[in-house]
Every structure is written in C-alpha cells, then in structure tokens.
Structure 1
Amino acid sequence: MSRIRIGDHTWTFDAASLELYHCMSSEADWNLALVRAGATLWLAGTVVPGPRSPEALLGAEVSVDLRSLDEVAGALLGRHVTLYPGGQDVCALRFRLAASPGGVRLAASAGCDWDRYLKTFDHDRPVDLELDIDAAVVALHPGNLP
C-alpha cells in the first residue's frame, strides 16, 4: 500500500507508477504518478546515478522537487502550502530507493517548516511528513520522454 502522511492526516493511493528519463546521464529525472479515487497527482524529482536498468534503481539517491511536493500536499490538504523539509535551513527531501513487492519503495520522513503567510495549518509548529510509496517502474527512457 502507498500512503502519504502530513501532520495528523494520512492518504492512501490505489496505484503508484514511476517513469524515469535522461537515464543515460549522471542524473536522471523522474515522475511518480499517484492515483487516488480516479485522480492522478504527480510527484517529481531527480535520481543519481542515472539508472540503466530497474535493478540499478535500488540504493540510488532520490531528491524530490519541492514544488511538486507542495502541489501534491496542497491537493491532498485542499489548500495551498509551502513546505520546507528539514526546516528552512535544509529545505530538501532526499532518500535512497529500496526494493518493494511492486517495484521500488520511495520512503522518507521529515519534519517540515511551512510558510505561515499561507495559514495552511491552525498551529505554529512544524508538521511531520512521511512518504511510504510502493511504485511500479513503468519505463526508463535513455533520453527525453517520448
């Protein structure tokens, strides 16, 4: 099962699929489709080194594009949010991919500061973020997406 938790709220997903491109370079880009109740949310980022095979993904370092994280979190919460994983001094979400029954496991947790101007939460403390996603690897493109 795939899920995202933000603070006290948890969402589960019906399916998750990972597609990578620029795999022949030292750093590849990825898009993760998260399907929930017929709607698709997109998380994106980079992975190093660029994987030449699905097996090469295991242990590879993943970075999440924080703009896409804000879009996914905002869609789930139903309001705008700007998250700063690790606090404003760190502001990064990185982890290593692991094997999972469905393909690869994207798992990370971080305390996140957030933009108080947006009044996303009804408190003034950081929120916990947890990703635990089992994704099928659907394609590794050597260059751009077709």
Structure 2
Amino acid sequence: MSRLQLGDQSWTLRKASLTIYHGAAAEADWNLALDHAGETLWLAGTITPGPHAPEALLGAEVTVDLRSLDEVVSHLLGRAVTLYPNGQEVCALVFRLTASPQGVHFAATAPCDWDRYLQTFDHDHPVTLELDIDAALTALHPGRLP
C-alpha cells in the first residue's frame, strides 16, 4: 500500500497508476492517478530526462507540479492549503525514482511551509510531507501526443 503523510495525518492510497507523455523529449510530463477510498486524485509533474523506455525511469529526476500537490492535499485534508516544499525560498519538490514491485517508487520527504492566510493549521510552524507511493506504469507515450 502507498501512503501520503502531512504532519501527523496520513492517508492510504490503494493503488497508483503512472502515465508519461513526451517520453522521447529532454523533459517528459507525467500524471499519477492515485486511488484514495474509491476516488481518483491526480498528481502531475515532469521527468528529466524523458524516459524513452520503461527501464529509463529508474534514477530519473521527478519534479512535482505544486498546484497538483495542493489540490491532492487540500482534498485529503478537507480544507484549502498552499504548500511550499523545502520552504518559500526553494518551493520545489524534486527527487529520483526507484524500482518497486509495481513498477516505480515515488519517495520524498520535505519540510513544507504553508500559506498562513488560509489558516489551514492551528500552529505557525512547517509540516513534514512524506510521499511513499508505488506506481504501475500504465502508458509511456514517446511522442508529442498520446
């Protein structure tokens, strides 16, 4: 089972499916469908270099689109949040893919500052985000269009 944790709250994800677009490019786009309690949530981002073949995913650098991260976490929390992974000066979530029994493993831990205006949390300190997601590769589209 995969999970996403933010601070002291954790959510189990039943499965995750990865689709990659523009795999033959220097930078590819990806969408990760996450099944949480029968609902599909979407994380998105880029992979560098573009994985021209499934075996090229291992060790590839993944960057998470932070708007998609905010949407997933806001849905799970049940309230709006804007996260700044690794602080407002960095504001990025980047890591490398590794192998998993399902295909690839998305694993990252980052301290996250958050937008105080939204009053998401009842404290004034960063929260730790942990991604521990095993994903099956469902499609790798090499060209510009799927």
With the shorter chain as reference, the TM-score category is over 0.9
Per the normalisation by structure 1, the TM-score is: 0.98
SS in 2 for 1:80: coil
**Which residue does the alignment assign to 1:101?**
101
Deviation at 1:143, TM superposition (A): 2.3
Where do residues 11-50 of structure 1 align in structure 2 (5 Å cutoff)? 11-50=11-50
Supply the distance in 1 between the matched residues of 2:126 and 2:145 (Cα, whole angstroms): 37
Amino acid of the structure 2 residue aligned with 1:98: T
1:115-146 alpha-carbon deviations (Å, 9 max, x no partner): 00000001000000000000000110012453
Supply the distance in 2 between the matched residues of 1:89 and 1:76 (Cα, whole angstroms): 26
**Which residue does the alignment assign to 1:118?**
118
Aligned: 1:5 with 2:12: no
SS in 1 for 2:73: helix
What is the number of equivalent residue pairs in this alignment?
146
**Which residue does the alignment assign to 1:74?**
74
| Identity level (%) | 72
RMSD of aligned Cα (Å): 0.7
Amino acid of the structure 1 residue aligned with 2:106: L
Deviation at 1:24, TM superposition (A): 1.2
**Which residue does the alignment assign to 1:83?**
83
Per the normalisation by structure 2, the TM-score is: 0.98
Amino acid of the structure 2 residue aligned with 1:125: H
Deviation at 1:36, TM superposition (A): 1.3
Deviation at 1:3, TM superposition (A): 0.3
SS in 2 for 1:139: strand
Supply the distance in 2 between the matched residues of 1:60 and 1:24 (Cα, whole angstroms): 13
Amino acid of the structure 2 residue aligned with 1:33: A
Unaligned runs of 5+ in 2: none
Unaligned runs of 5+ in 1: none
